[in-house]
Amino acid sequence: MQLHQPRTLPDEYAELHCHSYFSLLDGASSPEALVERAAALGYRSLALTDHDGLYGAVRFWQAAREYGIKPIFGAELTLADGQHLTLLAETQSGYANLCRLISAGQLAGQKGQPRLTLDTLAEHAQGLLCLSGCREGAVASSLLAKDKEGALSAAACLREVFADRFWIEMHRHYLPTDSQLNSELVALARRLDVSWVATNNVHYAERRGQRLHDVLTCIRHYATLPEALAAGLLHSNSELFLKSPQEMASLFADLPQAIRSTCQIAERCDVNLDFSKQQLPSFPIPEGHTALSYLQALCEKGLRHKFNPITSQAQTQLAHELAVIDHTGLAGYFLVVWDIVRFARSQGIRCQGRGSAANSLVAYLLDITPVDPLRHSLLFERFLSEGTHTMPDIDIDFAADRREEVIQYVYERYGQEHVAMVCNVVTYRARSALRDVAKALAFPADVIDRAAKALDTRSTASAAEQILHSDSLGVIDKPDTSPRREEGKAAHCRVSTQQHGVGSYAQPAVFRDEAEPGQSPSLPWQILSKLLADMDGVPRHLSIHVGGMLITAAPLVEIVPVERATMPGRVVVQWDKDSVEDAGLIKIDLLSLRTLDAIEEALHHIREQRGIDLDPAHLPLDDPTIYDMLQRADTIGCFQVESRAQAQMLPRLKPETFEDIIIEVALVRPGPIQGNMVHPYLRRRQGLEPVSYAHPALEPALAETLGVIIFQEQVIRVAVAIAGFHPAEADQLRRAMSRSRSQEAMAALRKRFVAGARSNGVDEEIAAEVFRQLAGFAEFGFCKSHAAAFALVAYHTLYLKLYFPAEFYCGLLNHQPMGFYIPEVLMSDAQRHGVPVLRPDVNRSRDACTLEPSVCHSQPSPCHSEPPICHSERSEESPRSKTMEILRYAQDDTLERSPLPLAIRLGLRYVHGLGEAFLERIAERRGEGPYRDLRDFCWRTRLPRPVVENLIRAGALDSFGQRRRDLLWALGGLEYQQEGLDIEVPLEPVVLPILSKAERLGWEYELLGMAPGEHVMQLYRPQLRRHGVLSSRELEEIGDGQTVCVAGWVVVRQRPPTAKGHVFITLEDEEGLINLIIRPDVYERYRSTLRNAPLLWAEGRLQCEGHAISVLVRRAAALRRKGEVIPQAYITPNRIR
């Protein structure tokens, strides 16, 4: 419990009209900053009154409780005529009315422009206190317009609605018209026998917030600062900050009642946002059952289904979990989730639960989660325990394509009044912030563009830093006086930059590597930098959260206001998922996972092509070939284990069992890497370090991870084992440790822990050591059940890739974007695994990728049909094909023995720039019969010439048997009626030499993103070989520590925030992938090349650990298209033995 601040000041004042940055593009401070400032100034209560919303209410409430300030909830509402009104919630039912009013206003208007009528206001006025508003309120604005009668009548109206809960609001902002306005307001108040109250209409916590406020105003009006100033849009001074109670008292020294009113009002208000006692909507339970008994019946059915025989362990666990569920009253919640999953499956929608819920046996028995918690020693208490004060969170992944149907089902089942999506607050990131702020500061457009593109970070704080360092952004300040400025004109700012070297907005040399060091950026850049730092966390707009849904028993509008989402017919609550959770509401996350779609499609293909009905749920998890794949990091395309970081870790960790996959998924993340868990674990696994435990009691909990704490569940187990905590307590400890890192908080936790340990008979020193380890890991620990659920999906994808690669890759390619790699990398990987990838073909392709029987050709013909990856050749070597044979035989005796080679036919959607309409037309008009030749094609489809050209160049008409150049020429001479584009395409002069391989590849890369069956690096290979540049395959033969030169096509560029400025690039050549590591200083030196060159040459030192190979780069250059592909300066005599 928090203490209230002691009364130390004689003047007492409560601020009742205050905006946070949740008054979008108007307020400049966070709710927390406002509360903190208020506390520092000695306030006892503070109101938050954002425009038409309670977006920041929960954060405000939390902060207020932390600082011992009484929070008052309110809003500044926009009425139908655009006027403003300040409302404060006095009671809990007043709060509900406030939510209703805000929602009504939001839903009545258009998105972003709420409008509330006076009638609606009157209907829900009970429990609300009303202040007449700012200068845009009806009363003040009338007076300012010299309409005394109008002001009087507006005030009288409000008085009638709110009775004695109405005050005339007054400000003193040091404006010239304040004096007159306020005396008229007082006179009016006296006439109506209404009291008056002072507020400061706060828009920022401290005076310097004026700058950000001005900039936000500019952004809101799409203006620059000089323009906004000239148009009178900026507030003329900086008085809208949270002033000290003394200052306010002194400002209103002649009207002490105005100050006293604030305290009188504040004292009346008593609202809290703890909604954890809310009920879930009632679930239709069959006759004779309660929620719990029905749940039990369902679980017992699941038990019989999944456990054969039913073990006593399972029965005991079930009984225990049901008891806890009963105690916490959550039976209904489980039934709601079960019902949603049941519905999804009944519609053939693939789904599975994830997160901490997978710790629960009940969830497993209800088919919500896919992992058996007993088999993988998971911990129910991580998900739910008695005495816990937080709501459990069940997240479910659905096949992305069909998630919408599930959301629709929930809306229909529980009603629009009780269901809404949780919102997502989109905040400013580095680029968007820089663009908007620099624009307001009247930076020229091209300067802004280059600066924004040169930013290396997403965080506004880091961007602020980056701008200050002239080297990194290449900003050069030309020494000159600042230009003459005319009043209110922004044009001069732009003019000055056109003269090179003059003025303070000189062209930044963003791509110059020779930026002169030591020059500090000019003043506008400094101002920009400061403002960017202030933009940290500032909301830009709201959007719908990916899948969080609120389902409530009471009508939602009494708990939190709703507003329109951009999706028609959808409403979204004004709280994001953190606020929803902190307010104690129950939400269910209906997420989408494209991998599930891809798996579903692959299974569909397997059924169609081979007649096999595969159910991944029944796969045994111990196939040695799959673990071999993992150890070789042959995992492109596979869920969770394909990333570059994974590919580096897998050969070192060498997973052998499913538990190892779980560890791999949990460990290879920024958190554990940061928390220094990875290396200790690896060393112990490799036998380089003995497995030891600080205390023997730790062994049962930590044996599975060789004594290293990796999982959140382990933190709980350790706390229970060592300090004798109850599981609920232990989970609280875990939560507290991972959140608060303040010294005092940690000290308090350590005390509790050590005390518990001592009474448990554990030595104090050991307890302190264990606590230290826990504290170090708690922040980075991963939820084991979540890792397990994901590991299962990973295993399924590995299985499919291994045994049904064609079907698998087809599924993947049809659900892009997805995963770690671009589609082109997947295609190359498919080909390396014996699945030919065929060009899109107007006669054989559909919109999406499809499967075809693969045909082997002995010779590649440059302009005809398909490249020759002979499937049977490769399949002889790989053990995979053997297993395939066995599998097929075991599954279905009637199938043929010979393997069924399949190829992937790229869909027409993979031709860049084709567009859906044209795509459909090709497929549609093919219905009458295949296209016979170019003329037939054009006459029937009537596609515009540029489109046909692209198709020709991409090779989609290769099956007509003509060379592409010839086709193009023929197209030129073809007369036909085009449907679709009104562009004149001039006939080009005839040039008929045969298309060179380079040109052809160039066209294919341009139009398809890659050349099926070939690789652009093949064009460079002869020259590269002469210069000693190695291919990805050749690299495997080289020893650790050697200097090597490599080259390839850049497919991945990463700069993980935890990597301290290191950059990771992956190159692809015709044989595989090459991993590059670039240190920060090297990156700076070759920045522009590394950022932009699509084809890269690099030289560096080889680092290998088993199969994990990377090159630590020293030099880099872009490959050139003509002549010497490597710049002369980088050619050195062959160093490789």
Give the footprint of another protein on this chain (CB under 8 A): 174-176, 178-179, 210-211, 214, 225, 229, 234, 236-239, 441, 482, 485, 523-524, 527
Cβ proximity to another protein, 210 vs 574, nearer residue? 210
Tokens 């920060």, residue located: 1080
Comparing CB distances to another protein, the nearer of 178 and 689 is 178
Nearest approach, Cβ of 495 to another protein (angstroms)?
A: 15
Quick check: helix, strand or coil at residue 75?
strand
Q: Are strands 166-170 and 539-551 parallel, antiparallel or unpaired?
A: unpaired
Interatomic CA distance for residues 803 and 603, integer angstroms: 12
- Taking the least distance from each CB to another protein, the nearer of 528 and 650 is 528
Q: Which of 984, 999, 1010, 1014 is nearest to 912 (CA)?
A: 1010
725 — alpha (psi -120 to 50), left (phi > 0) or beta? beta
Pairing mode, if any, of strands 1095-1105 and 1043-1054?
A: antiparallel
Count helices and strands (H / E) in the chain. Answer: 48, 21
Whether residue 103 contacts residue 48, with contact meaning beta carbons closer than 8 Å, is answered with: no
Count CB-CB contacts under 10 A for residue 393: 17
What number of residues does the chain have?
1137
Nearest distance from C-beta of residue 523 to another protein, angstroms: 6
Closer to another protein at the Cβ: 524 or 655?
524
CB of 479 to another protein, least distance (A): 16
Residue 196 vs 443, nearer CB to another protein: 443
Comparing CB distances to another protein, the nearer of 504 and 552 is: 504
Nearer to another protein, 238 or 865 (CB): 238
Beta strands at 45-51 and 70-78: parallel, antiparallel or unpaired: parallel
The minimum distance between CB 640 and another protein, in angstroms, equals 48
Q: How far is the CB of 800 from another protein (least distance, A)?
A: 59
User: What distances in angstroms separate CA 354 from CA 309, 591, 643, one per listed residue?
Assistant: 26, 10, 20
When the beta carbons of 447 and 778 are compared against another protein, the nearer one is 447
**Least distance from C-beta 167 to another protein, angstroms?**
25
Q: CB of 504: closest distance to another protein in angstroms?
A: 10
Nearer to another protein, 52 or 239 (CB): 239
With tokens 């303070």, the residue in question is 504
**Angle at alpha carbon of residue 789, lines to 786 and 791, rounded to 5°:** 105
Least distance to another protein, CB of residue 1095, Å: 44
- Give me the amino acid identity at 148: K
Residue number, 175 or 895, with CB nearest to another protein: 175
Picking from 140, 114, 268, 141, the residue whose alpha carbon sits closest to that of residue 196 is: 140
Q: Which is nearer to another protein, 210 or 850 (CB)?
A: 210
Which residue is associated with the tokens 């933190």? 715
Quick one: 494 or 1091, whose CB is closer to another protein? 494
Task: Kindly tell me which of 58 and 240 has the beta carbon lying closer to another protein.
Answer: 240
DSSP string for residues in 377-431: T--GGGT--TT--S---EEEEEEGGGHHHHHHHHHHHH-TTTEEEEEEEEEP-HH
Question: What's the Cα-to-Cα distance from 999 to each of 568, 607, 954, 1126, rounded to whole Å?
Answer: 47, 40, 11, 20
For residues 485 and 541, which CB has a smaller minimum distance to another protein in the complex?
A: 485
Minimum distance, C-beta of residue 483 to another protein, in the bound complex (Å): 10
Question: C-beta of 253: minimal distance to another protein in Å?
Answer: 11
State the Cα–Cα distance between residues 788 and 795, nearest whole angstrom. 10
DSSP 8-state code for residue 86 = E
Could you tell me where the DSSP H helices lie in 163-224? 178-192, 209-221
Q: What is the distance between the alpha carbons of residues 916 and 2, in angstroms, rounded to a whole number?
A: 60
H or E element in which residue 77 lies: strand 70-78
The residue among 80 and 175 lying less far from another protein, judged by its C-beta, is 175
Nearer to another protein, 240 or 838 (CB): 240
Nearest to 1046 by CA among 1069, 1062, 1063: 1069
**212 vs 724: CA distance, rounded Å:** 51
Secondary structure (DSSP) of 718-736 = HHHHHH---HHHHHHHHHH
Q: How far is the CB of 590 from another protein (least distance, A)?
A: 46
CB-based contacts of 1135: which residues, under 8 Å, 6+ apart?
Answer: 1028, 1043, 1045
Q: Least distance to another protein from the beta carbon of 228, Å?
A: 10
CB of 508 to another protein, least distance (A): 19
**Shortest approach of another protein to residue 219 CB, angstroms?**
14
Residues 6+ apart with CB under 8 A from 271: 71, 72, 73, 89, 90, 91, 92, 94, 95
Query: Could you tell me which residues are beta bridge partners of residue 1115?
Result: 1099
The nearest distance, CB 42 to another protein, in angstroms, is 22
Q: Which is nearer to another protein, 217 or 705 (CB)?
A: 217
| Cβ atoms of 104 and 53 closer than 8 Å | no
User: What is the distance between the alpha carbons of residues 607 and 596, in angstroms, rounded to a whole number?
Assistant: 16
* Residue 427 bridge partners (DSSP): 539
Q: Tell the smallest beta-carbon distance from residue 494 to another protein (Å).
A: 15
Q: How far is the CB of 238 from another protein (least distance, A)?
A: 4
Residue whose C-alpha is closest to residue 598's, from 801, 409, 407: 801
Give the three-class secondary structure for 1010: coil
